[in-house]
Amino acid sequence: MIALACMPLCMMAQKIKIDSGNIYVDGKVYAEMEKDGCGTFSQTCIYTFKNLKGKPVLIVKIGREKVPTEINSSNPDGTVIYADFNFLASKQKGQVANVRIKAEKIIERLIKAKLFKDGELDEEAASNFVLVNPVVYGTAKETIIIKQEAAPEPKNSLKINF
């Protein structure tokens, strides 16, 4: 009985391999990938995903933001790590928060969202991804500056005493 219950989970697991810039899923080439930064002490982390013809179609950039509402005992400074998914052809942008920076974890997100099909970016899947994962973090915040103006200088006046 337990074996039957676990069967769907085992069938969904996919083997991911990265070799020479190619991403393989269950032994079949899925897409190409380049990364910039993404090391332990790197300030930047950018993944560029290409179709099988070598054309860049998706850039995933990892960002960090301190968010006061995210402060808790396990996250005392409130840092949120997020990934911006920038779809180049449509110029759409989606975002996933609380991600792990490892390439394998980003690729798992691509596979789960079915963003690539037969080595090409699936534009419909990309649009659906953007709808479900709107941009929340890293956006320019509106700043309101209240300027206190000094009282106007009095004009020349005539003082009359009685």
Q: Which amino acid is at 77?
A: D
Residue 120 lies in a domain: yes
Residue 117 lies in a domain: yes
Residue 140 lies in a domain: no
Residue 21 lies in a domain: no
- Alpha carbon separation from 105 to 10, 65, 83, 130, 155 (Å, rounded): 18, 20, 11, 18, 70
What is the token pair recorded at 52? 């099988």
User: Model-level pTM?
Assistant: 0.75
Q: What pLDDT is attached to residue 29?
A: 94
Number of structural domains, the chain?
Answer: 1
What is the token pair recorded at 160? 């009359």
The answer on pLDDT for 120 being more than 60 is yes
The domain containing residue 80 runs over which residues? 33-132
76-85 pLDDT, tens digit each: 999 999 999 9
Residue 46 lies in a domain: yes
